[in-house]
Structure 1
Amino acid sequence: MSEKPDLAALIGSRICHDLISPIGAIGNGVELMMMDRASASPELALIAESVASANARIRFFRVAFGAAGSDQRIARSEVVQVLTDMTRGGRLQIDWQSPVELPRREVKLAFLLLQCLETAMAWGGRIRITRSEPGWTMDAAAARLKIDPALWEVLTEPHAPPEIGAGQVHFALVPGELQAQSRRLMADVKADSIRLTF
């Protein structure tokens, strides 16, 4: 019997697919306008920066929330480019260390967990993500963290949080993805650091 389709992931893929082309077209248009020195302005530069940020976020969401088949692969260079574009000018620094090519499904889980770390690192910090033979390690460090214990408990305990908003949906998606990949997450959460292994 075939596996039941993940409708939420298919919806995520569809939304990202439909948005990425028009946002890319806007970016191209802004780039052409900026080539004309007469029309270049700080306002246009701000639009260009916003379009680039939106484009990077959609590419990130496409992996994190979209459908990922067991045989699909993604290149490390693509992952690093998405993360570089997404964090440019921000307070968060991400160091991604992995083999040249990865199963897209594994990157999907890493991106969902990366969003969990991002939620805790409201004031910025550094994240190092490493894929080695035993598995994945994500080390986050910051001067201070914003930890909601109930949300973090969801990642390692098989129950849903009492209430969850759109801004925390990644926490609710992690347990299902761990189960789909037959992985177990270990989380070591401290006052100024978080280590995730899976």
Structure 2
Amino acid sequence: MTVSPAHLASLLSSRLCHDMLSPVGALTNGLELLSEEQDDEMRQRCFELLEQSAHISASKLKFFRLAYGSAGSFSESVSLEEPRALIMALAGDNGRITVEWHVGGTKMSKSAVKILLNLAAIGIEALPRGGKLEIAGEMGQDATEIVVRASGARIAFDGTVGQALDGSLDDRQISARTAPAYMIYLLADECGGGIQHMLQDDALIMGAVLPQA
């Protein structure tokens, strides 16, 4: 696959805008309803919906800032507390997904954190009816290993996302939907590592092995 950095950046921007459209639109609709509503009980409900939408918007922006951008510390490693909190917030906003975190250590490289976050996001998307998201990782002497398992009823997983993860997707098929998976494939490939995935009836399992620099 040969997609230019500029085109990849535009696709990631499109993906971010698509994912932000719903909560931001809910904020706009809530403000319109609030300006017209006179009933105190309904106004209180509007305030609750606005607060919920604002929380979801903020959570997603923080997530995408680290998953797509260059946020984090100025060093080459990032504290794992931040990605853990972001994944918990993103899954919590779904309301039907429980998260189990089994990641050893306190820090990971920025590239590893980006891969972890994006794999977690793919796992959350695979659970439209809810389920369990299990995240495991370990930074060994020779390599960092990450495993994300999404389990639940009727796993939803686009095969083109899987192809983007393993580098077999034709560059003409790279889209806003597959761009995050393609980005982390590139990150893994740059360090001599790779990403694998396996789809089962009730689970999606994804893993990454990233040799230490």
In structure 2, what is the equivalent of residue 137 of structure 1? 147
Aligned-pair identity (%): 16
TM-score, scaled to structure 2: 0.67
Question: Among residues 164, 167, 182, which one is paired with 1:157 in the alignment?
Answer: 167
CA distance in 2, matches of 1:89, 1:62: 17
**Cα drift, residue 191 of structure 1:** 1.5
Question: Among residues 96, 101, 119, which one is paired with 1:113 in the alignment?
Answer: 119
User: What SS is found at the alignment partner of 1:147?
Assistant: coil
In structure 2, what is the equivalent of residue 34 of structure 1? none
**Cα drift, residue 92 of structure 1:** 2.4
Q: 1:31-50 to 2 correspondence within 5 Å?
A: 41-50=44-53
CA contact (8 A) 1:120 1:147 kept: yes
CA distance in 2, matches of 1:114, 1:181: 20
In structure 2, what is the equivalent of residue 19 of structure 1? none
In structure 1, what is the equivalent of residue 20 of structure 2? none
Residue type of the partner of 1:156? D
In structure 2, what is the equivalent of residue 32 of structure 1? none
Question: Among residues 85, 91, 94, which one is paired with 2:89 in the alignment?
Answer: 85
Change (3 A) 1:106 1:118: same
In structure 2, what is the equivalent of residue 180 of structure 1? 190
TM-score, scaled to structure 1: 0.71
CA distance in 2, matches of 1:185, 1:51: 34
Question: Among residues 184, 200, 212, which one is paired with 1:190 in the alignment?
Answer: 200
CA distance in 1, matches of 2:158, 2:91: 23
More strand by share: 2
In structure 2, what is the equivalent of residue 31 of structure 1? none
Residue type of the partner of 1:194? L
- The answer on 1:96 being equivalent to 2:113 is no
> 5+ residue gaps in structure 1?
1-5, 17-22, 27-37
User: What SS is found at the alignment partner of 2:153?
Assistant: coil
Structure 1 window deviating more from structure 2 (136-145 vs 171-180): it is 171-180
**Cα drift, residue 138 of structure 1:** 1.2
Change (3 A) 1:63 1:152: same
Aligned CA-pair RMSD: 3.2
Residue type of the partner of 2:44? S
Moved over 6 A (4+): none
